[in-house]
Amino acid sequence: MNRREVMKFLTAGSMMVSTSILARGKGSKDIKPVVLSTWYNQAVHANNAAWSILKNSGTALDAVEMGVMVSENDWSNCCVGLGGNPDREGNVTLDASIMNHLGQCGGVAFLERIKNPIKVARAVMEKTPHVLLVGSGAQLFALEQGFRLEENILSDHAQNAFTEWKKKSKYQLKINIEKDGIDVPPTLPNGEKNHDTIGMIAIDAIGNFSGACTTSGLGFKMHGRVGDSPIIGAGLYVDNAVGAATATGNGEEVIRTCGSFLVVEFMRQGYSPEKACKKAVERIKNITPNKLSEIQIGFLALNKKGEFGGFALNKGFDFAVKSTYLDNEKYDAKSLI
Ligand code: SD4
């Protein structure tokens, strides 16, 4: 072996070592493309759909749109799409947003009877001069874009959940603010599930980020209530120079703190994705008027190197990551409480 061959051999060896480190998911190295999304059980399917685009050198934007649509189309999902839990008057109202590497973004809020709010959000981004359309205006726009008006019915599980909620909840159909206060429905009522928004962030093979977030919002919310998911900077934020972040949980707290924007700003200051998420959760802890044990907040973040992380207020927030080296590995986010 001459000197050049020895050098070649050594270089190949060190590449093999670093690849095996990445394969174990400890990557501080560049592992793009990468996609991750909230709540492991649904994230696996959504990530797979996104990955089918990313692995073929598709854009992060197409990937996140395709990915979260899996949850929107899942009639059994409690918390995303038209099968989700209704508001306190029995209407399913949907929120979604999308953002790309150029800082372009679009959202819809309080949208009824349209199957794929994320596609409408993308159309808002690409075909209007605006960022956010709501309610009947968003619906009208969707119809003009060729979306179909779906029947106004609840999925069986949503109907059951609604019936149970009406029996048990202290939240009345018509809220009495003096009597009931202005609390939002808790996301952790006695361990029952009232949340599972999908927030997805991705970096593609050429290093561009995008994100998407879509939800039926907190179950049994007041009619007209909009959460963080359709609001850029709250439920979702992308800055191609730094990274991307998304949020799940009680939207009120996330809006109050510009949560996803805050996470990206912490990453800009040099914090790792997990630490950036933790610092945003700490900020929420310091200012929320709600009982911390009754609500949940979870953030996910991804940086330029393809490093990722998540952090939650309470235990129980999990997520899945898909890349060449991670096959939907499950991560249980650390939590403040
Ligand atoms: C909202 N953040 O509407 C959403 C709910 C959620 O998992 O994330 N649920 O406030």
Using the mean position of ligand 1's atoms as its centre, give its distance from the Cα of residue 252 in Å. 9
Q: Which atom of ligand 1 is nearest to the CA of 248?
A: 8
Q: What is the pLDDT of residue 290?
A: 75
Q: Report the atom number in ligand 1 closest to the C-alpha of 235.
A: 2
- Residue matched to tokens 């609001």: 231
State how beta strands 209-215 and 297-303 pair.
unpaired
Residue 96: HSE in the Cβ half-sphere, 13 Å Cα cutoff? 34
Burial of 291 (C-beta count, 10 Å sphere; 0-12/13-18/19+): exposed
Return the residue whose CA atom lies nearest to atom 10 of ligand 1: 251
Query: Which of 79, 183, 222, 231 to mutate to test ligand 1, by most ligand atoms within 8 A of the CB atom?
Result: 79
Amino acid at 80: V
CA of 42 to the centre of ligand 1 (A): 15
Enumerate residue ranges in the chain where pLDDT < 50. 1-27, 182-183, 188-192
Q: Which atom of ligand 1 is nearest to the CA of 252?
A: 10
CA 73 vs CA 76, 158, 209: distances in Å: 9, 15, 24
Give the pLDDT score at 9.
35
Distance CA 39, CA 187 (A): 14
Q: Which residues contact 46 (CB under 8 A, 6 or more apart)?
A: 37, 67, 68, 70, 71, 198, 200
Which residues surround ligand 1 with Cβ inside 6 Å?
79, 195-197, 215, 217-218, 227-229, 248-251
The greatest distance separating any two alpha carbons of the chain, rounded to the nearest whole angstrom, comes to 85
CA distances from 280 to 39, 216, 306 (A): 19, 24, 20
Rg (CA), the chain: 20
Q: Side chain identity at 156, as an amino acid letter?
A: D
CA of 8 to the centre of ligand 1 (A): 52
Counting atoms of ligand 1 from 1, which one is nearest the CA of 225? 3
C-alpha 254 – ligand 1 centre gap (Å)? 9
Catalytic residues: 197
Helices (H), the chain: 3-23, 40-54, 60-72, 117-127, 135-144, 156-168, 177-180, 251-256, 259-268, 273-287
Predicted confidence at residue 7, as pLDDT, reads: 38
Give pTM, 2 decimals: 0.88
